[in-house]
Amino acid sequence: MSDLVVLKTDPGVIEVGAAERAVLGEVGARLVERPCLTEEELIVYGQAAAAILTLDEPLTARVIASLERCRVISRFGIGVDKVDLDAATAAGIVVTNVPDYCVDEASDHALALLLAVERRIPALDAAVRQGRWDTAAVAGRVRRLRGRRAGVVGFGRLGARFARKAAALGLEVFVHDPYVADAEIESAGAQPLPLDELLASSDIVSLHVPLTADTWHLLDRRRIFSMREGAVLVNTSRGGLVDEEALVEALEEGRLGGAGLDVFEREPPGPDHPLLALPSVVVTSHSSHYSLESGAEMRYRAFRNVADVLAGRPPATPVNAVARS
C-alpha cells in the first residue's frame, strides 16, 4: 500500500471518478476520503497526508502547522479564503485552485439573478400559479435594461465575462478594479471608475471579487446607502463582501430596488434570515458555479494539481509561491 496519502476532506460533496483516481495512480498516490469539518479533525487525519484536497474546510495556521508531510493543498474551486496562505507559504506548502472552471456558469448566473430581479420573474411566476393574471399589479415599475448603467466590481475572469454579457443586453458598463489597468478595461468596451463613484452612479452593481481581509464588508453601510436610489445589487462571489444588516435596512426602506444573492455571510442562512422575507430579493444556494461540465472540469483539475506537485512538477494554477530547495 502506498504511503503517499492524498486526503480528501469535504463531506462527500465532491464525487471522485475513474479519471481522478487514474491521475493519482500516475504518481502512486493513495486517496483517503475522510470528512474533516473541524480543525481538530484536520489535525488528526492530516498528519499522514502528502496532499489535501479541500472544499471549504478550515485550513487555518494551527492546522497547517500540524501538516508535517503535506506538500500541496488543492482547492476544489476558486476562492481560497478558508486556507491561511501565509502559513502555507511559510510551511513550504503549495496551494492551488481551479480559477477558471466555471466562468461561463457564474457569469450566466449573475446575469440570471439580475434579470430575475429586474423583470420580477419570481413574483410573476408565483402570481400565475395563484391564478392572478395582472402584470402591472405584480410587476410594478419594471424598467427597460437597455441604456441603463451596470457597475462591475472586479474585472478578473468572471467580472470581465459578466461585463461582456451585460453589454450585450445594451447596458452601459462601468468597472472598478484597482488591480487592472484602465487601458485594459477601456479596451474591453467598459469605463473605469473609482468604487464610490461607480456605486453612486450605477443602476445595477454586480460583485466579482474574492473575499479577503481587505474586501470584508467592502459594501459596508456607508457604501450601501451611497448607492443610486432604486439600484439592484447582485452578489455571486462571497457573502462577506456585503454588510447584510445594512443591505436589509436599505431594501426595507426602499432605498435599493432589489438584490440577487447567491451567497450569504453564513451558509446556509437560517429560515428566519431577514433577507429571505423580502419580496425584492431573489436568492439561490451558492450555486453559480454549478453545471455538469464545470463540476467534471473542476474535479479533474484539482486532482491534476495534486499529482503535478507530488511528481515534482509545477502545478497549472498555483495560488502562492513556495521557494524550491
d(Cα 223, Cα 91) in Å, to the nearest integer?
A: 38
- Asked if 204 and 150 touch (Cβ cutoff 8 Å), the reply is yes
Among this protein's residues, is 176 annotated catalytic? Answer: no
Q: Kindly give the interhelix angle for 103-118 and 121-129, rounded to the nearest 10 degrees.
A: 60
Give 145's contacts (C-beta < 8 A, 6+ positions apart). Answer: 118, 169, 170, 171
Catalytic residue among 157, 273, 286, 297: 286
Cell of 44: 488528526
Helix (H, G, I), strand (E, B) or coil at 42: helix
Catalytic residue among 222, 267, 293, 313: 267
Which of these, 223, 155, 232, lies nearest to 190 by C-alpha position?
Answer: 155
- DSSP string over 135-170: HHHHH-S----TT-EEEEE--SHHHHHHHHHHHHTT
Catalytic residue among 238, 289, 301, 304: 238
| Active site members | 238, 267, 286
